[in-house]
Structure 1
Amino acid sequence: MSTEQLTKPLNSFSNVQTILPGFMLCGVIAAAASFISEHYGGPKFLYALLLGISFHFLVDNPRCILGIETCAKKLVRVGVALLGVRIAVSDISDLGALGIIALAAGVALTIGFSLLLARLLKLPYMLGLLAGGATGICGISAAMAISSTLPQNEENEHYTLLTAIGIATFSTVAMVMYPLIVSSLGLTTAEAGLFLGGSIHDVAQVVGAGYMLSPEVGDAATLAKMFRVAMLMPVIMILVFALRSEREKFNGKEGKRQPLVPLFLLVFIGLIVLNQFGWISKEVSTLFSTISTWCLVISIAALGVKTSFEKLIGLGWKPILLLLSNTVFIALYMLAIIYLGQIISS
């Protein structure tokens, strides 16, 4: 599947009948996960993920693919944007100066580590840049945004797809495993949120992992993650100028540009500001929170349907090692920051 084919479904809202089958599939999975959670206990996000994986055989069905892509790519942004009603500007203080500095440094260090490791593995530096940016910032959306700054050729399109497949898989694994790490280490709510939000790649998996533990951890993880997402803008601006000469060598057709600041991030920030001033009523806040939860559960179900461990194996061992090493690097880095904070505060 080409990059054009991958992104085309995300712009197909005009054809509701085309989107509906895949959307209904993910919606039914989300409803089943919610039913199991409410009646038997346990995290609905994890249930949605596992049930979604069992329907992976439908991901290539032409009747379902558009709806699945829409749920996985678009619906999660709606859900995250609406989470802004639960956070106020004053909550940023929960990150603390150490948290803010650590998150910003984590993005830069992960990209640098990825570029160095790609060189050692004799992989193209473009792949190292894509893998590091996707791991350090916000997963597949960061990979697509960074890809828009690269020379638009078939080679870089291939690297983008490799990164997207690997990031989706490792981010999903992290979503399941990292809450277990948080529980085993006995991290506080703030520490758990900083670790999950600072180390998991995609926004959806951060939210899923956080809310598996508690709503408070979910909010803290989302806040830390959105700070990382905000780092996409300066990174993209740097790459636009740094890679200008590279792009000028290619005068072919340009791919679609990604916005420097995603719309869902602007909505998220706007709702935080409105909530800070008390301009959002309790009823509206409750309604938005409910809609947000359903959007996120449905999107997690879609991510489960899309998860393919077979495709990851087909990438070859070097790209897998690069992506895995990046994942381990940022996780260990965030744990080191957390333990450093414990030492400083003691």
Structure 2
Amino acid sequence: MTATGSPNSFFQDLPNRVRALFPGVLVAIIVAITAQFLADHYDTPAMLMALLLGIAVAFLGDEGKTVEGIAFAARTILRLGIAFLGVRISFELMAGLGLELVLLVIGGVAATIAFGLLISRFFGHGWRFAFLTAGSVAICGASAALAISAILPKDDRSEQRLIFTVLGVTVLSTIAMVAYPILVTQLGMDDTSGGIFLGATIHDVAQVVGAGFSISESAGDTATLVKLIRVSMLAPVVLIAALLIRTFAEAPEDGSRPPLLPIFVIGFLALATLNSFNLIPTPVADLMSQASRWMLLIAIAAVGMKTNLKRVLAVGGAAIGLLVTETLFIAALILAGIYYFA
């Protein structure tokens, strides 16, 4: 081991590293706290507020002492937050709904991703954007978009595609939170069927909870359970995608490849397994779940601060059309499945 790579060198350099990262990370934390305050007082999605506030101070990500820390928050804190999501998952979730409905939820995720990849060419977009949007629609909105973006080969439009997707799925999820409970009532669905529909189709967890409990406590519990099963699909989807990308995607110019198994996916799976066997005490799991939510909020604030809004808006109307079409597809598919199994 060389002197530069020695443990002593690492610890000697640590104070300098912390000083370099601190201003940017602190700004991201402040933006996240502000976003949560606004979300609590004005009933708006915290993720959306963090993103918009981050964009409003995007100059901090371009130059100055905050640049390095903002980049750290947008990458490392993001991946740690995704790994911590594993504490929300357990095998018991699967058993709670029955095999048919679990297969419907899993099939809905797979079919939506395949559908997005299939139709993206008609909207003038490539596989990267298609997988990013379809995966976020199919699994868990902004969190899935962040996780999928972390494994996609990077180019000069990667951050713009991510920002657009996070904005799009958050707005559509908020619309669905209001519109879908009305649809459930109009269709005369009971609490169980309505909860399944809401949990299997609305993108973000917070909006699923809001929509479900706006109908009844029973519908809210069912919707949350179904949504967490969709969240549990994040790790296998990202793992399979990472393997396919590593095998078939064209390597970047520097010849680097994504890791065979991303570390944050290993963390997600390890925590989900430990939680399934009740090896994580409930207070610790609750604390890690809250930590995950805050890490993702900080990360999305940092991503916003690294954003060029003009380039995001340049993604265009076809991208909006693709995102809306994928959203309508999963809603129609799940609705048909509910009536089929009823």
TM-score range, shorter chain: 0.7 to 0.9
Partner of 1:270: 270
Q: Contact 1:195/1:338 (CA < 8 Å) preserved in 2?
A: yes
Q: CA deviation at 1:207?
A: 5.5
Partner of 1:168: 163
CA 223–299 in structure 1, closer or farther in 2 if over 3 Å, else same = farther
Q: CA deviation at 1:310?
A: 0.9
Q: Contact 2:35/2:50 (CA < 8 Å) preserved in 1?
A: yes
- Structure 1, unaligned stretches of length 5 or more? 1-11, 122-126, 148-156, 198-205
Residue 183 (str. 1) matches residue 157 (str. 2): no
CA 282–326 in structure 1, closer or farther in 2 if over 3 Å, else same = same
Question: RMSD of the alignment, in Å?
Answer: 3.4
Partner of 1:330: 326
Q: How many residues align?
A: 298
The TM-score normalised by the length of structure 1 is: 0.72
Q: 2:115 aligns with which of 99, 103, 109?
A: 109
Q: CA deviation at 1:322?
A: 5.0
The TM-score normalised by the length of structure 2 is: 0.72
Q: Distance in 2 between matches of 1:23 and 1:233?
A: 28
The CA deviation string for residues 111-141 of structure 1, in whole angstroms up to 9 with x for no partner, is 1222x326xx5xxxxx612222222335465
Identity of aligned residues (%): 24
Residue 233 (str. 1) matches residue 229 (str. 2): no
Q: Distance in 2 between matches of 1:130 and 1:34?
A: 31
Partner of 2:31: 29
Partner of 1:84: 86
CA 322–293 in structure 1, closer or farther in 2 if over 3 Å, else same = same
The CA deviation string for residues 152-210 of structure 1, in whole angstroms up to 9 with x for no partner, is xxxxx6xx32244123223223213322223211164443332244xxxxxxxx45655
SS at match of 1:161: coil
Partner of 2:59: 57
Q: Structure 2 matches for 1:185-264, cutoff 5 A?
A: 185-186=180-181, 188-197=194-203, 206=204, 220-221=226-227, 223-242=229-248, 253-254=254-255, 256-264=256-264
Residue 17 (str. 1) matches residue 7 (str. 2): no
- Structure 2, unaligned stretches of length 5 or more? 1-12, 136-143, 185-193, 214-219
SS at match of 1:61: coil
Q: Structure 2 matches for 1:57-76, cutoff 5 A?
A: 57-76=59-78
Q: Contact 2:132/2:162 (CA < 8 Å) preserved in 1?
A: yes
CA 289–139 in structure 1, closer or farther in 2 if over 3 Å, else same = closer
Q: Distance in 1 between matches of 2:200 and 2:81?
A: 20
AA aligned to 2:340 is I
